Chain A
Amino acid sequence: MAMLFARSRNLVSSLRQNLGLSAILIKRNHSSPRPVFTNYQLSSRVFLDPSTSFRHESTAVETQPDLVQQSDHEDDAQELDFPGGKVGYTSEMKFIPESSSRRIPCYRVLNEHGKIISDRDFIPVSEKLAVRMYEQMATLQVMDHIFYEAQRQGRISFYLTSVGEEAINIASAAALSPEDVVLPQYREPGVLLWRGFTLEEFANQCFGNKADYGKGRQMPIHYGSNQHNYFTVSSPIATQLPQAAGVGYALKMEKKNACAVTFIGDGGTSEGDFHAGLNFAAVMEAPVVFICRNNGWAISTHISEQFRSDGIVVKGQAYGIRSIRVDGNDALAVYNAVRSAREMAVKEQRPILIEAMTYRVGHHSTSDDSTKYREADEIQYWKMSRNPVNRFKKWVEDNGWWSEEDESKLRSSTRKQLLQAIQAAEKWEKQPLTELFNDVYDVKTKNLEEQEVGLKALVEKQPQDYPTGFHI
């Protein structure tokens, strides 16, 4: 217990240092309060209930750097009232630089060799949890590989992998509670996997068979499960962000011990919905954790063509949102950051932004060949030397919690299970034709009833023009 408290005290100071923000000198004038931050936001001490094992202090706000270096002129003692609050004067005309002198560093716990860098801001992860996390990361890898191959063989129409982002997928899910509502983009099936979606259920959606919860209406990988609090994936980018703000607000009004968690890629942050989502979450003080997977590529568009800012983390402050940049390939760092973010979101009823730095090892999807726009060497480097699964594996192995035997057993059994799942899903009955017309509205409308009758008659008359297996 004492050790835990010691750790958390270190957590406090190391959070300060790791954020590296005290590097910039701040000269404050005591009579001019900061215009942007209210008292509410300053150093709220958070005490968690005994069931959780750590206490933290949200200090990020206090140590944010001033964007403008204030000088000592007398003018600064004066203030002017504006609708947004008091603002100090300066007779020095100084533009805020387009970028900070130093990029925001990213928080990491494990080095590339799977060794803990420092004990300071690290929530201990039990053996059980660590092993489960590793197993799931490996399962996700195998699943991606097999489904990708299935698409190449023409058995499913489409697939997209999360290769390289296994740590973000699994570690973030592990840090959440099952009541937290997840609004994914589309590269987060690991979150659903963690929550208990079976390989068979994944396969059913990819094949759009009768067992698919989505009833065969959408392309593969558009998973959704209300049972697992995982909103159905939709292809349009970033639309889930303002929705997440609404979901968070709903949870806030219901006083639930839960938050909304939503994912987005680096490309998606250019969408208007990113701005809408973050701004609304901040203004409405909604408990939302925004996790941005900055994997360097939006299909063929490199981040240098996506924005000119220091990534996404710096955008958080523009909305009044507390943010952190994390090494997305470090499972423990992701776990820690998401865990803390979630606690802050729920306890303080505020949004948090996490930028997880990573690399998209796979192609954008099965419709893409990324060697056309990036070097094969680059892909190989990230795949081999910066592999998040291997990195975490080393740490787990070093603790004596995982062996090569476990590894081969897991991989072969998962592979077998997947192949069986695919075979079964392929053979499964197709959706009945009536499901084409259901759920457009809560109750089928007259025009749909008429169209259904018309279509059925047509199919019965000329069955050769239509695919078989759809029960009329």
Chain B
Amino acid sequence: MASLLGRFCRKLVVPGSAHGSRMISTTACDSEAVKSLNLYSAINQALHIALETDPRSYVFGEDVGFGGVFRCTTGLAERFGKNRVFNTPLCEQGIVGFGIGLAAMGNRAVVEIQFADYIYPAFDQIVNEAAKFRYRSGNQFNCGGLTIRAPYGAVGHGGHYHSQSPEAFFCHVPGIKVVIPRSPREAKGLLLSSIRDPNPVVFFEPKWLYRQAVEEVPEHDYMIPLSQAEVIREGNDITLVGWGAQLTVMEQACLDAEKVLDFIFQLKDNWFKVSNMGLELIMQEGISCELIDLKTLLPWDKETVEASVKKTGRLLISHEAPVTGGFGAEISATILERCFLKLEAPVSRVCGLDTPFPLVFEPFYMPTKNKASSSSSLSSPLKKKRHYLIMGLHVWCRYWMQSSPLLITSHSICFFR
């Protein structure tokens, strides 16, 4: 009994435990000072360090002088001077163009676009100029010192023009990199990497997390490598891939999917009351989820995702941006090419709807954890297998009511592995 239970426990991640085996950024050691920071403070810290360590770096954009509308640039102008940290006229194509010019002269230009929703006037400069600057000149010139920061994503009340996730447009542009952090600690390390990367980078910051997310962030100068995805939660049944704020939603879905022990033990007292709903819950739950943070969308780490899907056989991708033409499509197509024979179910995408980002309808539009949980990947194939087995066992149990329910349940679990 105990050994059976033991086998059972080993295979599932017990809910409420720490997030599987989380890979901690290697540069942070336990002895280094950390501070509890929210996202905008972590970004602010990164910018302070960037300007401090490179005297030829600049931060500019609309309203950055007083600290920025999200306070990411607080204290920079006072500390580094208005020559290096300054407001620009209200003109995104000018901001990015000016940044390209500065970067082409060997400086680091960290420009801010006030909301990702307003990045489009600069699209020409980003796509036709920044992305191609090195290639078209035969590497005589480059604007690698350019980093474009923009807050992106839902915020609860942003509507059409304060909630957009435009990452897909940029992922289609060879020559730039697209980076999206999920938390304060990640943001600081990834932003420093982006600023110091010798290629132009578009850095989207999940605005919802500016204040909401608080984490222990090392105070020193550290970088998190680009184009390296991280498995933030290990599992065996299904791979979930996401980035930015969506990962917190997906983590909740993972936790829900993994809940099983409590409910199975409840069955012991309630065999006669086991309803369809109860069966449903058993069927849906007990799923071990592997959650991957992509971090860099372009160029993205295919190897990590591929290895994970080859292990689990299932993939679910989730992003806020509309599903059609979203970056999930690229991941899906690539994984299908590489892991087709290992897949046990179609790749699932849980994304925003194909509408402009609505205001009052936001809760319906968003890819919530319930949408993730009820998606086909997380339910149906597993559901079918267990359904038949449980029905069979249920019938068998009615004739053996005196039998220990624990024995029965552990039998049923063993069948699935």
Q: Does B375 contact A (CB under 8 A)?
A: no
Task: Flag if A279 contacts B101 (CB, 8 Å).
Answer: no
- Indicate with 1 or 0, residue by residue over B14-40, a CB within 8 angstroms of chain A CB atoms: 000000000000000000000000000
Task: Flag if A250 contacts B93 (CB, 8 Å).
Answer: no
Task: Flag if B135 contacts A439 (CB, 8 Å).
Answer: yes
- How many Å lie between the Cα of A215 and that of B139 in the bound state? 9
Query: Which B residues lie within 8 Å of A279 (CB)?
Result: 89, 91, 94
Known: A272-B121, A445-B299. A249 touches B199 (CB 8 A): no
Among the listed A225, A236, A280, A442, which residue makes an inter-chain contact with B129, where contact means beta carbons less than 8 Å apart? A236
Task: Flag if A440 contacts B135 (CB, 8 Å).
Answer: yes
Task: Flag if A246 contacts B100 (CB, 8 Å).
Answer: yes
Query: Which A residues lie within 8 Å of B199 (CB)?
Result: 441-442
- How many Å lie between the Cα of A214 and that of B227 in the bound state? 28
Known: A231-B104, A447-B299. A245 touches B98 (CB 8 A): yes
Task: Flag if B100 contacts A243 (CB, 8 Å).
Answer: yes
Shortest Cβ distance from residue A1 to the other chain B in the assembled complex, whole angstroms: 38
Q: Does B368 contact A (CB under 8 A)?
A: no
Known: A246-B98, A439-B134. A226 touches B174 (CB 8 A): no
Query: Restricting to A393-447, which residues have a CB under 8 Å from any CB of B?
Result: 438-442, 445-447
- How many Å lie between the Cα of A242 and that of B93 in the bound state? 8
What range describes how many residues of B lie at the interface?
Answer: 35 or more
Q: Does B394 contact A (CB under 8 A)?
A: no
Q: Does A283 contact B (CB under 8 A)?
A: yes
Task: Flag if A446 contacts B105 (CB, 8 Å).
Answer: no
Among the listed A213, A215, A243, A447, which residue makes an inter-chain contact with B101, where contact means beta carbons less than 8 Å apart? A243
Q: Does B136 contact A (CB under 8 A)?
A: yes
Shortest Cβ distance from residue A62 to the other chain B in the assembled complex, whole angstroms: 27
Q: Does A251 contact B (CB under 8 A)?
A: yes
Q: Does B137 contact A (CB under 8 A)?
A: yes
Q: Does A217 contact B (CB under 8 A)?
A: yes
Query: Which A residues lie within 8 Å of B175 (CB)?
Result: 440-441
Known: A222-B136, A439-B134. A236 touches B128 (CB 8 A): yes
Shortest Cβ distance from residue A75 to the other chain B in the assembled complex, whole angstroms: 33
Query: Which B residues lie within 8 Å of A370 (CB)?
Result: none
- How many Å lie between the Cα of A41 and that of B390 in the bound state? 86
- How many Å lie between the Cα of A212 and that of B137 in the bound state? 10
Query: Restricting to B122-174, which residues have a CB under 8 Å from any CB of A?
Result: 124-125, 128-129, 132-142, 144, 174
Query: Restricting to A246-276, which residues have a CB under 8 Å from any CB of B?
Result: 246-251, 253-254, 260, 272-273, 275-276
Among the listed B89, B99, B198, B302, which residue makes an inter-chain contact with A442, where contact means beta carbons less than 8 Å apart? B198
Task: Flag if A214 contacts B137 (CB, 8 Å).
Answer: yes
Query: Which A residues lie within 8 Å of B318 (CB)?
Result: none
Query: Which B residues lie within 8 Å of A234 (CB)?
Result: 128-129, 132, 136
Q: Does A58 contact B (CB under 8 A)?
A: no
Q: Does A277 contact B (CB under 8 A)?
A: yes
Q: Does B248 contact A (CB under 8 A)?
A: no
Task: Flag if B137 contacts A224 (CB, 8 Å).
Answer: yes
Q: Does B83 contact A (CB under 8 A)?
A: yes
Task: Flag if B89 contacts A446 (CB, 8 Å).
Answer: no
Query: Which A residues lie within 8 Å of B86 (CB)?
Result: 284
Q: Does A241 contact B (CB under 8 A)?
A: yes
Query: Restricting to A196-248, which residues have a CB under 8 Å from any CB of B?
Result: 212-215, 217-218, 222, 224-226, 231-232, 234, 236, 239, 241-248
Task: Flag if B89 contacts A249 (CB, 8 Å).
Answer: no
Task: Flag if B89 contacts A440 (CB, 8 Å).
Answer: no
- How many Å lie between the Cα of A245 and that of B177 in the bound state? 24
Q: Does B88 contact A (CB under 8 A)?
A: yes
Shortest Cβ distance from residue B35 to the other chain A in the assembled complex, whole angstroms: 32
Q: Does B345 contact A (CB under 8 A)?
A: no
Task: Flag if B97 contacts A273 (CB, 8 Å).
Answer: yes
Task: Flag if A212 contacts B138 (CB, 8 Å).
Answer: yes
Task: Flag if A217 contacts B121 (CB, 8 Å).
Answer: no
Query: Restricting to B62-117, which residues have a CB under 8 Å from any CB of A?
Result: 83, 86, 88-89, 91, 93-94, 96-107, 109
Shortest Cβ distance from residue B270 to the other chain A in the assembled complex, whole angstroms: 53
Among the listed B102, B124, B136, which residue makes an inter-chain contact with A249, where contact means beta carbons less than 8 Å apart? B102
Task: Flag if B136 contacts A243 (CB, 8 Å).
Answer: no
- How many Å lie between the Cα of A438 and that of B139 in the bound state? 9
Nearest B residue to A231 via CB reads B141
Query: Which B residues lie within 8 Å of A226 (CB)?
Result: 137, 140-141
- How many Å lie between the Cα of A247 and that of B141 in the bound state? 13
Task: Flag if B104 contacts A439 (CB, 8 Å).
Answer: no
Shortest Cβ distance from residue A249 to the other chain B in the assembled complex, whole angstroms: 6
Shortest Cβ distance from residue A267 to the other chain B in the assembled complex, whole angstroms: 16
Nearest A residue to B56 via CB reads A253
Task: Flag if B97 contacts A246 (CB, 8 Å).
Answer: yes
Among the listed A183, A236, A439, which residue makes an inter-chain contact with B139, where contact means beta carbons less than 8 Å apart? A439
Nearest A residue to B102 via CB reads A246
Task: Flag if B83 contacts A246 (CB, 8 Å).
Answer: no
Shortest Cβ distance from residue A437 to the other chain B in the assembled complex, whole angstroms: 10
Task: Flag if A215 contacts B138 (CB, 8 Å).
Answer: yes
Shortest Cβ distance from residue B142 to the other chain A in the assembled complex, whole angstroms: 7
Shortest Cβ distance from residue B164 to the other chain A in the assembled complex, whole angstroms: 21
Query: Which B residues lie within 8 Å of A217 (CB)?
Result: 135-136, 138
Shortest Cβ distance from residue A121 to the other chain B in the assembled complex, whole angstroms: 32
Known: A276-B93, A442-B199. A213 touches B140 (CB 8 A): yes
Query: Which B residues lie within 8 Å of A181 (CB)?
Result: 105
Among the listed A213, A214, A250, which residue makes an inter-chain contact with B102, where contact means beta carbons less than 8 Å apart? A250
Nearest A residue to B127 via CB reads A236
Shortest Cβ distance from residue B114 to the other chain A in the assembled complex, whole angstroms: 16
Query: Which B residues lie within 8 Å of A442 (CB)?
Result: 134, 142, 144, 198-199
Nearest A residue to B137 via CB reads A232
Known: A246-B100, A440-B174, A441-B199. A218 touches B136 (CB 8 A): yes
Query: Which A residues lie within 8 Å of B133 (CB)?
Result: 232
Query: Which B residues lie within 8 Å of A250 (CB)?
Result: 101-102, 105-107
Task: Flag if A242 contacts B101 (CB, 8 Å).
Answer: yes
Query: Which B residues lie within 8 Å of A253 (CB)?
Result: 83, 107
- How many Å lie between the Cα of A248 and that of B107 in the bound state? 12
- How many Å lie between the Cα of A463 and that of B149 in the bound state? 45
Query: Which A residues lie within 8 Å of B107 (CB)?
Result: 250, 253
Q: Would you list the 6 A-B pairs with minimal beta carbon distance, nearest first? A: A246-B101, A242-B97, A276-B94, A250-B105, A243-B101, A232-B137
A sample of 6 inter-chain contacts (CB < 8 A) reads A242-B101, A249-B102, A250-B101, A273-B124, A280-B98, A441-B299
Q: Which residues of B contact A (CB under 8 A)?
A: 83, 86, 88-89, 91, 93-94, 96-107, 109, 121, 124-125, 128-129, 132-142, 144, 174-175, 177, 198-199, 227, 299, 302-303
Given A245-B98, A273-B94, A442-B199, 17 more A-B residue pairs with CB atoms under 8 Å apart are: A215-B138, A224-B140, A232-B138, A239-B97, A243-B104, A244-B101, A245-B94, A246-B105, A247-B101, A247-B102, A273-B97, A280-B94, A283-B89, A440-B175, A442-B134, A442-B198, A447-B302
